[in-house]
Structure 1
Amino acid sequence: MADSESTRVETDVRPDEGGSPRPRRSVRRRLGGVVVFLVLGLLFFVPWWTLFASGVDWPFPVFLAGTVVFAAWLVSFPFLMVAGHGGRRADRAARFADSTLGMVWVLFTWSLLGGLVHLVLIGLGVGGDGGPDRARIVAVAVAVVSAGLLAWGHYEAMRVPRVKRLDVHVPRLGGGLDGTQVVVLADTHYGPIDRARWSQRVTEAVNALDADVVVHAGDIADGTPVQRREQSAPLGTIRSRLAKVYVTGNHEYFGEAQGWLDRMAELGWEPLHNRHVVVERGGDSLVLAGVDDVTAESSGLAGHRANLAGALAEADPDLPVLLVAHQPKYVAQAAAGGIDLQVSGHTHGGQIWPFNFLVRIDQPVVHGLSRHGERTQLYTSRGTGFWGPPFRVFAPSEITLLTLRSGPAAG
């Protein structure tokens, strides 16, 4: 621990011309703070402008009330976010901050679209001179659409996910394993909103599928195992015929990754901490391997990093491999290693449209089944829960039931 701390100090400072240490990252942090401030300002300014100041000419009390609300939102948001997700981890503050983030993102998106519609109407001469009437129609439409999407999105986030069923053909899979059913959970994100009852209902839905293998592909919670003990407890009642396996996601490394590995073992799961297990059915075998999240190494937690070679150590190379890796972008290493099928989460399918387009910049796939190289397939789940904002807009959650089929896909 002392070595890692000294290394961190050396990389964080460098001598200036006078020989005294100068923080290396101070400029980057300041620039980062400026960028965050500008982004926040833009997120709040665009909806305010569309709803209250873009020629709508509302009565002054309406304009004043809207301005005060948006200003209070903007000023309070950073403090609530720090209180909720910083060292204090105050769940009440986190709930307000997360909800605010989701609401302002939806308002921002549809305000931009409303602004584009307004410009098109002006260009087409619809409404004649227009005056405030056209601007008011756009503002009211943006407010109504945003409110409707937020209400629907909250329902979508809080309900028990629907089961998504998919056949996956794995050419190297032995005939005895044909029809093996794998349930995939990912991104449960037990967090500031107490979802213990939701967790229990998800467990019941999984058990009703009577699966051979159950996978949790990481991001189990936002918080420590002690904080989220009640919400995670139902996972201990999940049943499977052959195995229940779990890998860490990036959010475990914001808290207690090792603690979550221990907690899942306590609940009867096999934590695949760069290791594998072999399951058998009908005289044929399948390797279930798992790696730590790709952010594990930078966490500084000893023994944690994504290590595919370690996960496959002593595994029979002639056996098919199902790899669990939290982030889809690990598929490059999986394809290089000859993995048959990788199962991932992390993306949430974008969670709130159009964030899926931003996710695609960082990840090769946002959701669904894809092929990478000659052998490797990747299934990316939209996730079972949600992160932060309790909304899902055009990105439904899922419990995934993959049925493995031997032989190549038809056609």
Structure 2
Amino acid sequence: MAVARPGAEDGPAPAPGPEAEDGRERRSSLRRRLGGTVVFLVLALLFVLPWWTLFASGVDWPFPVFLAGTVGFACWLVSFPFLMVAGHGHRRADRAARVADSTLGMVWVLFTWSVLGGLVHLVLIGLDAGGAHRARIVAAAVAVVSAGLLAWGHHEAMRVPRVKRLDVRVPRLGAGLDGTRVVVLADTHFGPIDRAGWSARVAEAVNGLDADVVVHAGDIADGTPLQRREQSAPLGTIRSRLAKVYVTGNHEYFGEAQGWLDRMAELGWEPLHNRHVVVERGGDLLVLAGVDDVTAESSGLAGHRANLLGALAGADPDLPVLLVAHQPKYVAQAASAGIDLQISGHTHGGQIWPFHYLVRIDQPVVHGLSRHGVRTLLYTSRGAGFWGPPFRVFAPSEISLLTLRSGTAGTDRDDR
């Protein structure tokens, strides 16, 4: 006897009518216009405030100086969106990306110090200090400080990261695993600026740390494995005694995430694509687990999502677990599952001050060692490279050396 399915007698649902289609189109068009308007207003604010501070806030420069500054900022503002689209859109033109990314970093620093300069200007007015040249003094200070920070920040971004050393005490760690050396790389972001030489020097630095385990916590590159093949090649020279493991970051899902998993396997790394491996030292075992980035599921790539249950499937629940998850905010799931230590990146420590305040809106931690729940420790790396703007201001890059210790407390010791 046939069983009637609910609604089956009614046949297929009717297709939406022309009015519904038109309504969806109008709402979609309105969202695009509103989004475009917001982006334009933000860009205008980022560019206009520095222009006002440097050239129009009562500084009374000679007209040729004012005109040159105004034309320069106007050209900067108008060209920026086109350069971003050319550099990071379908064309992926590296030269355009380099100019656009540098512009973004420069204008952010100028904007930040223009805001601070404006506050100083108000204080000077209140104190009746500086006299007729008050605005010029503030403008010159903003220009000098911004230029100095950009020069220093570029040097910081392009150098080989310093090593940050920490002892991390994991209560469930067996005595044989005491002293296990875990080297953390994150956010190498191989991209439009060719850093193949930098990559080779980073690999040499990692090899000098005598690692038992090396972790790459994601955001390996901006671009495809083919585009960044030369820059990623030195990762194949990195050595470890027990394992080299890698998980995807959110930027892999802007390009070819599965391609990067395959590329890292080709370079001798163990891709932890929602899976785990078990390593042994001194007769004791440690589970090294990894999950895809939290953005993986929305990418639409089949089989990609953050799946902690899948990553731990078959693992002995009595063994300590080191989980690699790109974004620190995954620690909520890790703590619920009783993970011992999560290693993450993603934040860059804010990369360019004071951006770390915005990072804290999205992430529970910006950098360093923190405790979550009863058992779980989280280590968040500032990352080795940089995204976009080739600058790091008050957010130094790092290669992290975590020495795992048996015990009951986590200690953050920073030896630079």
The TM-score bracket by the shorter chain reads over 0.9
Correspondence list, 1:9-408, <5 A: 17=19, 20=22, 22-23=24-25, 24-127=27-130, 130-131=131-132, 133-408=133-408
- After superposition, the C-alpha distances for 1:303-337 in whole angstroms (9 at most, x for unaligned) are 00000000000000000000000000000000001
Taking a change above 3 Å as real, the CA distance of residues 15 and 177 of structure 1, as seen in their structure-2 partners, is: farther
- Residue 17 of structure 1: how far off its partner (Å): 3.8
- Residue 409 of structure 1: how far off its partner (Å): 2.4
- Residue 22 of structure 1: how far off its partner (Å): 3.0
SS of 1:22's equivalent in the other structure is: helix
SS of 1:25's equivalent in the other structure is: helix
Taking a change above 3 Å as real, the CA distance of residues 14 and 257 of structure 1, as seen in their structure-2 partners, is: farther
Q: State the distance in 2 between where 1:365 and 1:71 align.
A: 38
1:8 aligned residue: none
2:6 aligned residue: none
Q: State the distance in 2 between where 1:14 and 1:306 align.
A: 35
SS of 2:24's equivalent in the other structure is: strand
Report the residue type matching 2:128 in the other structure.
G
SS of 1:56's equivalent in the other structure is: coil
Q: State the distance in 2 between where 1:56 and 1:14 align.
A: 61
* Unpaired segments ≥5 residues, structure 2: 1-14, 412-416
- Residue 124 of structure 1: how far off its partner (Å): 1.3
- The two structures have a TM-score, normalised by structure 2, of 0.94
Q: State the distance in 2 between where 1:161 and 1:70 align.
A: 34
Report the residue type matching 1:325 in the other structure.
A
Taking a change above 3 Å as real, the CA distance of residues 410 and 70 of structure 1, as seen in their structure-2 partners, is: closer
Report the residue type matching 2:338 in the other structure.
G
Q: State the distance in 2 between where 1:225 and 1:18 align.
A: 43
2:190/2:228 contact within 8 Å kept? yes
Report the residue type matching 1:65 in the other structure.
A
* Unpaired segments ≥5 residues, structure 1: 1-12
Q: State the distance in 2 between where 1:288 and 1:112 align.
A: 46
Report the residue type matching 2:191 in the other structure.
G
1:169/1:407 contact within 8 Å kept? yes
2:168/2:410 contact within 8 Å kept? no
Q: State the distance in 2 between where 1:304 and 1:254 align.
A: 13
Runs of 4 or more, structure 1, over 6 Å off, are: none
SS of 1:407's equivalent in the other structure is: coil
Identity of aligned residues (%): 87
**Equivalent pairs, count:** 396
Q: State the distance in 1 between where 2:194 and 2:242 align.
A: 31
- Residue 25 of structure 1: how far off its partner (Å): 2.7
- After superposition, the C-alpha distances for 1:186-221 in whole angstroms (9 at most, x for unaligned) are 000000000000000000000000100000000000
Q: State the distance in 1 between where 2:233 and 2:20 align.
A: 58
- Residue 397 of structure 1: how far off its partner (Å): 0.1
- The two structures have a TM-score, normalised by structure 1, of 0.95
- After superposition, the C-alpha distances for 1:348-376 in whole angstroms (9 at most, x for unaligned) are 00000000000000000000000000000
Q: State the distance in 1 between where 2:20 and 2:348 align.
A: 50
- Residue 276 of structure 1: how far off its partner (Å): 0.2
Q: State the distance in 1 between where 2:85 and 2:16 align.
A: 29
Q: State the distance in 1 between where 2:198 and 2:162 align.
A: 13
Taking a change above 3 Å as real, the CA distance of residues 164 and 22 of structure 1, as seen in their structure-2 partners, is: same
- Residue 14 of structure 1: how far off its partner (Å): 7.3
- After superposition, the C-alpha distances for 1:29-88 in whole angstroms (9 at most, x for unaligned) are 211110000000000000000000000000000000000110000000000000000000
SS of 1:409's equivalent in the other structure is: coil
- Residue 398 of structure 1: how far off its partner (Å): 0.1
Taking a change above 3 Å as real, the CA distance of residues 15 and 239 of structure 1, as seen in their structure-2 partners, is: farther
Q: State the distance in 2 between where 1:342 and 1:42 align.
A: 38
**In angstroms, what is the RMSD of aligned CA positions?**
1.3
1:15/1:21 contact within 8 Å kept? no
Taking a change above 3 Å as real, the CA distance of residues 332 and 18 of structure 1, as seen in their structure-2 partners, is: closer
- After superposition, the C-alpha distances for 1:272-320 in whole angstroms (9 at most, x for unaligned) are 0000000000000000000000000000000000000000000000000
